[in-house]
């Protein structure tokens, strides 16, 4: 089982140093401490375990060290930065493991960019030795790259000439969309396995600065300190410790404090039962700080994040995820109001950003998403995002049960309008009503109102609103249908339908790069190259252009 729980005292491959308002992440990969057996992580090459630690480190610096305004990524190994993803590891992985690895690595790189853009923690990279493939892609995720100019150190994206695949963690997209490297230069760079060095790398905007070996770290620290002061980070409050999550894994059930996931293997179905807030909280920031990582939105985001990753990697045949909830809609609405009123507070901002990243992780998961709104549900505001993210949603119409005390309602709050955007830069509500400005304005008018089924369906906020006579049959048929379809066809269909509207660098990475990398991994040419790499044998390619 792949476990995404870790903490700095358990790291094998990364070291964190906090010095005032500058943090440094040192990559120092333990060669024999790999995720699976059969390969060594030479030259700071990485596997999933290395990235799990990096993801944790980025998250912890955001929450536990709000005083940090700049983060340096560099290598602790002399004259070696990183050889990228370990090739022997990739050659051993199944297709599904390769794809999940690339997706998680991309999400981690994007979280670095998100911290630079939204959290006032600007990332820099000091490249002290060869950086190839994923090693250079890690540098590309930062906002400022300083390269040692020693006549020998090169940066490269050698996947096309050496491995018959693509740079799998956003390299192609970032050199064009982020660094604005000219297309012809990018073409040369991506088709030469030797890469480029020094002045050419600087002239082509592949790096931002050059430094002698003796000046690399002092020069990087000087730049980091300037950026940290410019970022004007929080200097008053202490950070919030991210304590371990409570989780219990059984054969067909995963249990957290706020989420329970029930697995039906016959239907290849995971049902998320989410416990919303049960009572209205004290609205003071002081009280929220005292709760720390137990504050409901942060606790929920951490548990949902872990559940998504666990199911992605450890339950690949469970193809449908259904979401149910219970709790107090009024309490959920009150929490959203607290967060919006205090959205400029560093802690509240980080919680909202974490929720945004977690819902994005849900969007790009290759699973069918279905939301079920029943009596006592709590699909309000933050939790309403699960309904808006779903491929299909059902809301029980209680019209024939007017005397029941249990109400079935749905409610949007201010947080649904621009705080939790998708990878395409749109809110889920805007994406849902793409090109329908008048309807979107009408939807905005019902913000804060608890809607019953017929009105919710009429406004287009749910797909269907069956009554209790048809409810069970419609849900059963939906689950059975999903279980009968081709998983490949469903993944392709859902990814096409979920992301309408504009493209961003992030959406390109997941829709364009990931899809084509997925396809290339299955081609005979990639298999031959990955297996023959390092043996001295020249692969024989299928020369057909497809």
Find out whether 48 and 86 touch, Cβ atoms under 8 Å.
Answer: no
Ranges under pLDDT 50 in the chain:
400
Strand partners of residue 260 = 255, 273
Write the DSSP symbol of residue 544.
Answer: -
Strand order in the sheet with 70-75: 14-19, 22-27, 70-75, 122-127, 144-148, 209-211
Q: Which of 363, 418, 413, 347 is nearest to 383 (CA)?
A: 413
Rounded CA gap, 58 and 172, in Å?
23
Question: Is the CA virtual torsion 302, 305, 308, 309 positive or negative?
Answer: negative
Residues 397-406: contacts with CB under 8 Å, at least 24 apart:
397/452, 397/453, 397/454, 397/457, 397/465, 397/466, 397/467, 397/468, 398/452, 398/453, 398/467, 398/468, 399/453, 399/454, 399/467, 400/467, 400/468, 400/469, 401/468, 404/375, 406/375, 406/376
CB 170 within 8 A of CB 109: yes
Upper half-sphere CA count for residue 73 (Cβ side, 13 Å) = 31
pTM assigned to the model: 0.96
113 neighbors 165 (Cβ within 8 angstroms): no
Domain with CATH 3.90.226.10 in the chain: 8-231, 248-498
Which of the 8 DSSP states describes residue 142?
A: S
Give the CATH superfamily of 8-231: 2-enoyl-CoA Hydratase; Chain A, domain 1 (3.90.226.10)
- Tokens, residue 288: 């929220």
Q: Is 236 helix (H, G, I), strand (E, B) or coil?
A: coil
Helix, strand, coil distribution of the chain in percent, nearest 5? 45, 15, 40
Assign domain 248-498 to a CATH class. alpha beta
Phi, psi of 282 (to 5 degrees): -60, 125
State the pLDDT at residue 400. 46
In whole angstroms, how large is the CA radius of gyration of the chain? 24
Contact, 387 vs 463, CB < 8 A?
no
Instruction: Return the pLDDT at 531.
Output: 82
Measured CA to CA, the distance from residue 122 to residue 35 in angstroms comes to 30
Q: How far is CA 331 from CA 338, 423, 462, in A?
A: 11, 29, 22
């Amino acid at each position: 089982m792949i476990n995404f729980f870790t903490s700095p005292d358990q790291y094998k491959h990364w070291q964190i140093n906090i010095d005032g308002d500058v943090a440094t992440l040192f990559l120092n990969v333990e060669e024999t401490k790999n995720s699976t057996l059969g390969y060594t992580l030479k030259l700071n090459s990485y596997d999933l375990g290395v990235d799990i630690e990096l993801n944790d480190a980025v998250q912890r610096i955001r929450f536990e060290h709000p005083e940090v305004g700049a983060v340096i990524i560099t290598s602790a190994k002399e004259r070696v930065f990183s050889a990228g993803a370990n090739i022997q590891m990739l050659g051993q992985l199944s297709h599904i493991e390769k794809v999940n690895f690339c997706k998680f690595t991309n999400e981690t790189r994007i979280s670095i960019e998100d911290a630079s853009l939204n959290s006032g923690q600007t990332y820099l990279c000091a490249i002290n030795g060869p950086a190839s493939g994923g090693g250079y892609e890690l540098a590309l995720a930062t906002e400022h790259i300083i390269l040692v100019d020693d006549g020998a150190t090169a940066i490269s994206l050698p996947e096309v000439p050496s491995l018959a695949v693509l740079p799998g963690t956003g390299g192609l997209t970032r050199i064009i969309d982020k660094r604005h490297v000219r297309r012809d230069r990018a073409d040369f760079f991506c088709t030469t396995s030797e890469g480029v060095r020094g002045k050419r790398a600087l002239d082509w905007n592949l790096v931002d600065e050059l430094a002698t070996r003796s000046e690399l770290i002092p020069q990087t620290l000087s730049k980091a300190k300037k950026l940290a002061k410019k970022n004007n980070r929080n200097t008053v409050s202490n950070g919030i410790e991210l304590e371990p999550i409570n989780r219990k894994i059984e054969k067909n059930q995963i249990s957290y404090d706020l989420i329970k996931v029930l697995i039906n293997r016959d239907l290849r179905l995971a049902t998320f039962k989410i416990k919303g807030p049960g009572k209205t909280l004290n609205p003071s920031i002081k009280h929220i700080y005292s709760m720390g990582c137990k504050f409901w939105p942060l606790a929920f985001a951490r548990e949902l994040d872990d559940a998504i990753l666990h199911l992605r990697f450890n339950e690949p045949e469970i193809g449908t995820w259904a979401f149910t909830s219970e709790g107090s809609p009024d309490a959920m609405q009150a929490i959203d109001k607290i967060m919006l009123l205090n959205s400029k507070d560093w802690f509240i901002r980080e919680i909202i950003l974490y929720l945004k990243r977690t819902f994005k992780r849900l969007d790009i998961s290759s699973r069918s998403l279905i939301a079920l709104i029943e009596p006592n549900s709590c699909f309000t505001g933050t939790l309403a995002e699960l309904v808006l993210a779903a491929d299909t949603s059902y809301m029980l119409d209680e019209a024939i049960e007017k005397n029941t005390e249990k109400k079935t309602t749905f409610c949007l709050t201010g947080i649904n309008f621009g705080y939790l955007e998708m990878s395409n830069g749109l809110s889920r509500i805007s994406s849902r009503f793409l090109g329908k400005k008048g309807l979107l304005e009408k939807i905005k008018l019902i913000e804060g109102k608890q809607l019953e089924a017929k009105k919710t369906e009429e406004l287009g906020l749910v797909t269907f609103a069956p009554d209790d006579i048809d409810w069970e049959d419609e849900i059963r048929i939906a689950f059975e249908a999903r279980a009968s379809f081709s998983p490949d066809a469903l993944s392709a269909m859902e990814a096409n339908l979920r992301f309408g509207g504009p493209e961003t660098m992030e959406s390109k990475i997941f829709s364009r790069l990931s899809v084509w990398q997925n396809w290339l991994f299955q081609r005979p040419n990639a298999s031959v190259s990955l297996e023959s790499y390092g043996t001295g044998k020249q692969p024989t390619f299928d020369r057909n252009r497809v």
